[in-house]
């Protein structure tokens, strides 16, 4: 077993928070061990909970499209994970204690994969990874639009969550999300990596 497979096997039976009692299954993430890019979303929804794969619903279709059109790759070339691995009932926002309980797993993935670039989708992932605090006050609208030097020489690129882009009807937020993905692509090239 690789390090990631060992972590995934342990995570599959996690009961660190109450989401364990309502989930269908743990959505560990789509891992591409050689990829320089990790994308971090919020939480699995109904489709993800059923299929055990992140971003397979409507948000995922948009994410796939933006990845393909702006990065030139399909999802098998990047790692895609969430701040929490289990679906919050009724698709409510994840609670701070749930994000905190799941953080150990997210950190284990970051540690094992050491991505050169991390794209955070929406407020929860951005606040967690930029400030270490999912309840930080700064919002994604102000935080996106630039790259942030991150830990161990990596770069963090915040952008809108695709669900928010869908809610906006695809206007300016879609163009801004695309611009952020281009920013991430440039950071990958600047790190001397390829997708
Ligand atoms: N939204 C997320 O944040 N993550 C998923 O996996 C699906 C939808």
Residue nearest to atom 7 of ligand 1 (CA): 55
CA 152 to each of CA 10, 22, 111, 117: distance values in angstroms, whole numbers, following the listed order: 26, 36, 11, 11
HSE-up (13 A, CA, CB side) for residue 186: 10
The pLDDT score that the predictor gives to residue 171 is 85
Minimal CA–CA distance to 79: which of 32, 36, 112, 20? 32
**Model pTM?**
0.98
The pLDDT score that the predictor gives to residue 56 is 98
88 ligand 1 Cβ < 6 A = no
Under 8 Å between Cβ of 46 and 115: no
The pLDDT score that the predictor gives to residue 87 is 98
Q: Which of 28, 47, 54 best tests ligand 1's pocket when mutated (most atoms within 8 Å of CB)?
A: 54
The pLDDT score that the predictor gives to residue 1 is 85
43 ligand 1 Cβ < 6 A = yes
pLDDT value at 170 more than 80: no
- Ligand 1 atom closest to 27 (CA): 6
Residue 25, both tokens: 């299954």
The pLDDT score that the predictor gives to residue 53 is 98
Distance from Cα 1 to the centre of ligand 1, integer Å: 27
pLDDT average, residue stretch 12-37: 98
The pLDDT score that the predictor gives to residue 101 is 98
What is the rounded CA–CA span in Å between residue 26 and residue 105?
11
∠ CA 183-149-76, nearest 5°, is: 50
- Ligand 1 atom closest to 80 (CA): 6
pLDDT value at 176 more than 90: yes
Per-chain mean pLDDT for the chain? 97
pLDDT average, residue stretch 75-81: 98
pLDDT tens figures, 82-126 = 999 999 999 999 999 999 999 999 999 999 999 999 999 999 999
In the numeric block, the tokens 């952008």 are attached to 159
pLDDT average, residue stretch 68-84: 98
Residue 144, both tokens: 């996106």
């Amino acid at each position: 077993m690789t390090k990631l497979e060992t972590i995934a096997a342990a995570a599959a039976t996690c009961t660190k928070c109450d989401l364990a009692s309502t989930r269908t299954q743990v959505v560990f993430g789509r891992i591409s061990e050689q990829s320089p890019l990790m994308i971090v979303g919020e939480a699995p929804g109904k489709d993800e909970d059923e299929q055990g794969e992140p971003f397979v619903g409507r948000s995922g279709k948009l994410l796939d499209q933006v990845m393909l059109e702006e990065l030139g790759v399909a999802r098998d070339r990047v790692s895609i994970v969430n701040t929490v691995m289990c679906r919050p009932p009724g698709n409510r926002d994840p609670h701070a204690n749930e994000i905190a309980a799941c953080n150990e797993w997210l950190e284990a993935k970051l540690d094992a994969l050491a991505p050169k670039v991390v794209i955070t989708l929406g407020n929860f992932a951005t606040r967690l990874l930029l400030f270490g605090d999912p309840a930080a006050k700064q919002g994604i609208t102000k935080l996106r639009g630039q790259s942030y030097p991150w830990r161990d020489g990596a770069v963090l690129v915040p952008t809108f969550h695709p669900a928010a882009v869908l809610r906006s009807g695809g206007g300016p937020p879609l163009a801004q999300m695309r611009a952020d993905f281009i920013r991430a692509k440039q950071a990958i090239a600047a790190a001397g990596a390829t997708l």
